[in-house]
Amino acid sequence: MCYDKGTFIDGSPYPFFDASKRFKLQPEHFYKPKYFVFIPHLLAGAAIRCPQCLAESRKGKDGQPAYLTPNGFPKAPRRVVDVDENIYIIGYRYYCRTCKKSYQSWSPALRAALPRPLAQQFTHHLTFRSGLTDRVVAIMRSCFLQGIGPYPFAQILRTNHIRRYEQLHLQYLEFLYAGHSTPLHFTGSYQPFSAYNDQSGYAGYTPSGRYIRDFYVQFMGSHAKEIDQYTAMLSANILQVDHSFKVSNNSQIDGFNFEYWLPGTQAFGKGQRHSCLHCSSYSGERVQ
């Protein structure tokens, strides 16, 4: 178990060690993926509370808090895309006897119920059917800041994945070449290395530019409140104010009615500040 070695990762990124021990080498010795093992009940130190029952302050039959029961492995691991390879997440299923709900260990609801230091170890960004590692998301955001858009970024990702595939292919061929003096009637003929996207072989995959774009829009949308808050906290050394009191037709923000907008722009045009006025008195402000 990889937890005994102090890591969440199972599987070596170096097929050299496995291949060195084999008399008859097969290409699949070079296809072995990396696994991220996330079985939190082994690490939480205590039973995991049911998120649903906790939210509704519901107790178990014996009056004790409702805890989750480990309920076996999911049908299949989840694939997330890393910088030059794909990682497969091995999770665990949990069941609540009180509210009869099931959770996967990678679900956001279950992770919110874990001790925070443990929940923080799961950094992958999962989407409906796939996902990206935090490393890829960090590089993606840096690329977007530097003007590289989602479609070129998808190509960069694909280039790196194919580069790793070709390195493994070359390693396989070097092993065969090193052992070519052994007569073939001892080893039998060797299998060719699979194509990159052969699903029964290497099974390479990278997401499309459209997927990257949609991911980014959703990701930034989920952090809009924090970004707005940070922008609102920036000081405005120079504030250009448009004092025409634009009528906003009683727009509502957080349940309050506002009758006028007082737009203002910071120096260098960074962020626009809108003061909302109600009956000629200052009520609040919002940054766009």
Question: Judged by CB, which is closer to Zn ion: 31, or 94?
Answer: 94
Question: Judged by CB, which is closer to Zn ion: 53, or 212?
Answer: 53
93 binds Zn ion per the rule CB under 5 A: no
Out of 2, 47, 99, 203, the residue judged to bind Zn ion by CB under 5 A: 99
Question: Judged by CB, which is closer to Zn ion: 96, or 287?
Answer: 96
**Which one of 9-17, 94-102, 165-173, 261-269 is the stretch in contact with Zn ion (CB under 5 A)?**
94-102
Tokens (6 digits) for 228: 């707005």
Largest Cα–Cα distance in the chain? 95
**Which one of 3-11, 74-82, 91-99, 203-211 is the stretch in contact with Zn ion (CB under 5 A)?**
91-99
Judging by beta carbons within 10 Å of its beta carbon (0-12, 13-18, 19+), is residue 188 exposed, middle or buried? Answer: exposed
Residues 41 to 70 in contact with Zn ion, rule: CB under 5 A: 50, 52-53, 66
98 binds Zn ion per the rule CB under 5 A: yes
110 binds Zn ion per the rule CB under 5 A: no
Closest CA to 79 of 92, 69, 66, 89: 89
Spatial distance between the Cα atoms of 131 and 138, rounded to a whole number of angstroms = 14
Please write down the HEC assignment for all residues of 255-282.
Answer: CEEEEEEEEEEEHHHCCEEEEEEECCEE
Tokens (6 digits) for 105: 């260990």
**Which one of 92-100, 116-124, 138-146, 209-217 is the stretch in contact with Zn ion (CB under 5 A)?**
92-100
Residues 207 to 226 in contact with Zn ion, rule: CB under 5 A: none
Q: Helix, strand, coil shares of the chain as percentages rounded to 5?
A: 35, 25, 40
Q: Which residues bind Zn ion (CB under 5 A)?
A: 50, 52-53, 66, 96, 98-99
